[in-house]
Structure 1
Amino acid sequence: MKRVIPGLIMLFLTAFAAAQQKSPVDLQTIKVKAPFEMPAIRIPDFSKCKRLSIADFGAIQGNKERTTQALVKAIAQANKNGGGVVVVPKGEWLTAGIRLKSNVNLHLNKGAVLLFSEQPADYLPAVHSSWEGMECYNYAPLIYAYECKNIAITGEGELKAKMDIWKQWFARPKAHMESIKRLYNLAMAYTPVKERQMVNDSAHLRPQFIQFNRSENILVDGITITNSPFWTIHPYLAKNVVIRNVKVWAHGHNNDGIDPEMSQNVLIENCIFDQGDDAIAIKSGRNPEGWRLKIPSKNIVIRNNLVKNGHQLVALGTELSGGIENVFIDSCTVVDGAKLNHLIFIKTNERMGGYVKNIYASNIRAGKIDLGILGIETDVLYQWRTLVPTVERRLTPISDIHLDNLQASNVKFLSRILGQKEQPVKNVLLKNVNADTIQDKAHIQENVINFKN
């Protein structure tokens, strides 16, 4: 008996010591007001977690290999600990791609710059990702999280992409167009995603900068992002996402700021966007992807953001085959002199299906807008119109759009709604939607039922 007790004590002390080394991640709950039932959003709280500097894991400024390996090791250790903050100290650190793990906060100190290599080979092997709403295996996003829980990217530092090669890939030559045509046909045939391998010498499907893929409880707070090969922040099939106090500058081709796609319970607030494309674009898969996965983008609140440039403040579509509902855009500002087409733009086509409903926008101010405050178009096909035929025709029901207290200085129109005869747009309410100067008609309409102004 005397021998058993010391053994039990030793076992207890070992377990206690292991527990003390763990750094569990707490969850914080955020309640968000919206004109629909908005679930509370859960995000990770790393305040009790151990901080792990990449310098202690062998990172060296200017040395891509050493810094990349240090990030891999520090992320693995934080995950093994049950939670941890991987710290990037002040200075410029050249790195290849980063793959996050659960219970990890990538934190950039003030003055820290993570500079991402422009070499495509640094983002291989290919990962389960997507291209313009179609799933495939492609170059890994520069920061990639797959099936993770409780993850964050925080701090006052900067994420920056070297653009030397990605800039060359902005062009869309015949070889690239043939590759996306092949992907479209694979998707329409419901070919297993594993067989949709898109990394080759000619596809040049650029990766997203940050993708949270099939992940939940996500926080992005405080960072600056400069440049992007493709979409900048892409929550994809994600749940419980807060993106706040983020500054994005990206003026390349397809450089949207944030693209929530088939994602739910999302808050985007206090961000600054200076974009080459839409500031925020809400999506839910292209054609069979949305029909197959059947997950709408839902319960999304966008508030207190500033747009300096972009095609739209908020776009919904064109990839919306899984549906979009319950979106609230409030108290946003577009600076005078910004290059903007619309404040709110809903766009789809006869191939998308899906639906759009319960969209609310209020208290938005803008200067001159090239087109108008609200645009709804149902025949937006871009390059796809002549690239591939319509395989399956599915129209998109659009209804219950509410705009209140939106003001611009100069527009061509307040609203332009181009519905389809077979599927008219329904229930559009505009209240206190005005512009100082209207160059064309205030309201342009085709196939709209129950429009109130």
Structure 2
Amino acid sequence: MKNTGIALMLVCAVMFFSFQEKKPCVAVNEIKVNAPFGVVKIKVPDFSKCIRINITELGAVAGDKVKTGEAIAAAIDKANKAGGGVVVIPEGEWLTGKVHLKSNVNLHLNKGAVLLFSEDPADYLPAVHSTWEGMECMNYSPLVYAYKCTNVAITGEGELKAQMNVWKEWFARPSAHMESIKRLYNLAWDRAPLKDRQMVNDTAHLRPQFIQFNRSQNILLEGVTITNSPFWTIHPYLAKNVVIRNIKVYAHGHNNDGVDPEMSQQVLIENCVFDQGDDAIAIKSGRNPEGWILKTPSKNIVIKNLTVKNGHQLVAIGSELSGGIENVFIDSCTVVEGAKLNHLLFIKTNERMGGYVNNIYANHIKSGKIDLGVLGIETDVLYQWRTLVPTYEKRLTPIKNVFLKNITSGEVKFVSRILGQKELPVENVWLKKITTGTVQEKKHIHENVKGFMEKP
């Protein structure tokens, strides 16, 4: 009996200390950001009191994709099971395949570290729950993927880099690819279950996002450099409490937006540098039935102190916006002289989207020459979908309350071009203290607009 009692005490002690080890070490701080629509409160994870795990301790070998990938996965698992931890990528170049984050894990890249991602599509299988242009599907894993995670971070002074030779070949849109996205569109329209939306085959070539935070919350992306991307670079999807700051992004391929917050809320993007082949920031909220079913608007998004070296727009809203987009504040951003840019702000939708756009503010923006204009609002942007599929159901997008002030730019074709729909005009667009260089065509090109106001 005495031995039994001692054994029981030992078991209890082990259970107690195991529980203690798993107690989360991650603190959650709240930051407050002022915006014209109110104070945005965002929860940010803090890993300063967590264990640090160097991937070399778990077998990472420079140049060995398999061993390094296994070591990163093991370190992430260890940090997660410990209740939180920092997975350290040391100085040097580390070849790997996909990286799947878990809750309470900070992937930290030391100065001089390069996490180099394989270009072999097989390294991003099995397929995961992801998206393609606003439609959910089972597709190649994003290179860095967080699914249903809480308290995740990617930090440091190092670099995440994608090899592009294979993905570049996939930029092309041959008939097999177009048929695949048409099939996905129709599956989404029919509300097909996710298991039926398998998009990995020999011909679909739906490129994965570089970093996707999917259905996750309390997210920090800070300090790192991100180079190249197969598709959208940073994609918070159905995410809450997202802080992206002090990062540098260079990606000049097809669909290479910088950040695409989609159906995401409480988002801060600040002090970043973007050099993009597409939009610097593109705010989205699902395509057609996806947005209508999920009913999660992108809202309470603050974008400040950005430097844009190239991009289609400083900020685009849409065209996937079926869940709605509201409360966006763009403040104190600069587009450098000589940058390739179409608009500073471009709101785009079409007769199939529905959703809504409301309360969009831009203030203190400086730019060199703009190929088109300061503000563009268009309601008939369909791209490839115009001929791929018909309009199954017509749902117009109410667009109202767009305010721009203290904007300076170089030469433009127009200051504003607003092409609303006769059945649903764009409402309440105010421009104040907008100064540009030469206007090549016409200052304002407007159709179906109510409540436009311009003040010096």
Q: Identify whether the pair has TM-score above 0.5, normalized to the shorter chain.
A: yes
Report deviation, 1:39: 3.5
Distance, in Å, in 2 between the alignment partners of 1:68 and 1:13 is 32
Report deviation, 1:138: 0.3
Report deviation, 1:18: 5.0
Distance, in Å, in 2 between the alignment partners of 1:389 and 1:52 is 53
Distance, in Å, in 2 between the alignment partners of 1:382 and 1:410 is 27
Distance, in Å, in 1 between the alignment partners of 2:24 and 2:429 is 50
Give the % identical residues: 72
Report deviation, 1:436: 2.2
Q: Secondary structure at the match of 1:175?
A: helix
2:211 corresponds in structure 1 to 210
Contact 2:24–2:104, Cα closer than 8 Å, also in 1? no
* Amino acid aligned to 1:302: I
Q: Secondary structure at the match of 1:292?
A: helix
Contact 1:23–1:50, Cα closer than 8 Å, also in 2? no
- Residues 239-388 of structure 1 mapped to structure 2, 5 A cutoff: 239-388=240-389
Distance, in Å, in 2 between the alignment partners of 1:419 and 1:10 is 71
Q: Does 1:145 align with 2:185?
A: no
Moved over 3 A (4+): 1-14, 20-23
Gap change, CA 1:389 and 1:57, over 3 Å in 2: same
Q: Greater shift after overlay, 15-24 or 74-83? A: 15-24
1:435 corresponds in structure 2 to 436
1:119 corresponds in structure 2 to 120
Q: Secondary structure at the match of 1:436?
A: coil
Distance, in Å, in 2 between the alignment partners of 1:261 and 1:30 is 21
Report deviation, 1:17: 6.7
Contact 2:155–2:221, Cα closer than 8 Å, also in 1? yes
CA RMSD of aligned residues (A): 1.5
Distance, in Å, in 1 between the alignment partners of 2:423 and 2:209 is 36
Contact 2:21–2:82, Cα closer than 8 Å, also in 1? no
Report deviation, 1:439: 1.1
Contact 2:21–2:83, Cα closer than 8 Å, also in 1? no
Report deviation, 1:157: 0.2
Gap change, CA 1:12 and 1:179, over 3 Å in 2: same
2:53 corresponds in structure 1 to 52
2:41 corresponds in structure 1 to 40
* Amino acid aligned to 2:65: K
Q: Does 1:396 align with 2:397?
A: yes
* Amino acid aligned to 2:356: Y
Contact 1:50–1:83, Cα closer than 8 Å, also in 2? yes
Q: Secondary structure at the match of 1:129?
A: strand
User: Which deviations, in whole Å up to 9, do the C-alpha atoms of 1:336-360 show, x marking residues without a partner?
Assistant: 0000000000000000000000000
Distance, in Å, in 1 between the alignment partners of 2:130 and 2:168 is 21
Q: Secondary structure at the match of 2:321?
A: coil
Distance, in Å, in 1 between the alignment partners of 2:15 and 2:176 is 60
Report deviation, 1:433: 1.1
* Amino acid aligned to 2:336: V
1:157 corresponds in structure 2 to 158
Gap change, CA 1:198 and 1:443, over 3 Å in 2: same
Q: Greater shift after overlay, 1-10 or 307-316? A: 1-10
Distance, in Å, in 1 between the alignment partners of 2:44 and 2:140 is 28
Q: Secondary structure at the match of 2:94?
A: strand
Distance, in Å, in 2 between the alignment partners of 1:376 and 1:396 is 12
Distance, in Å, in 1 between the alignment partners of 2:232 and 2:437 is 34
* Amino acid aligned to 1:315: A
* Amino acid aligned to 1:245: N
Q: Greater shift after overlay, 250-259 or 184-193? A: 184-193
Flag structure 2 segments of 5+ consecutive residues without an equivalent. Answer: none
1:227 corresponds in structure 2 to 228
Q: Secondary structure at the match of 2:432?
A: strand
Contact 2:22–2:81, Cα closer than 8 Å, also in 1? no
Q: Secondary structure at the match of 2:360?
A: strand
Gap change, CA 1:433 and 1:177, over 3 Å in 2: same
Q: Greater shift after overlay, 91-100 or 16-25? A: 16-25
Contact 2:241–2:266, Cα closer than 8 Å, also in 1? yes
Distance, in Å, in 2 between the alignment partners of 1:28 and 1:122 is 36
Q: Secondary structure at the match of 1:55?
A: helix
2:32 corresponds in structure 1 to 31
* Amino acid aligned to 1:168: E
Contact 1:23–1:48, Cα closer than 8 Å, also in 2? no
Report deviation, 1:21: 6.8
* Amino acid aligned to 1:270: N
Distance, in Å, in 2 between the alignment partners of 1:139 and 1:9 is 47
Contact 1:23–1:84, Cα closer than 8 Å, also in 2? no
Q: Secondary structure at the match of 1:40?
A: strand
Distance, in Å, in 1 between the alignment partners of 2:14 and 2:391 is 67
2:130 corresponds in structure 1 to 129
1:184 corresponds in structure 2 to 185
* Amino acid aligned to 1:320: L
* Amino acid aligned to 1:364: I
Gap change, CA 1:420 and 1:79, over 3 Å in 2: same
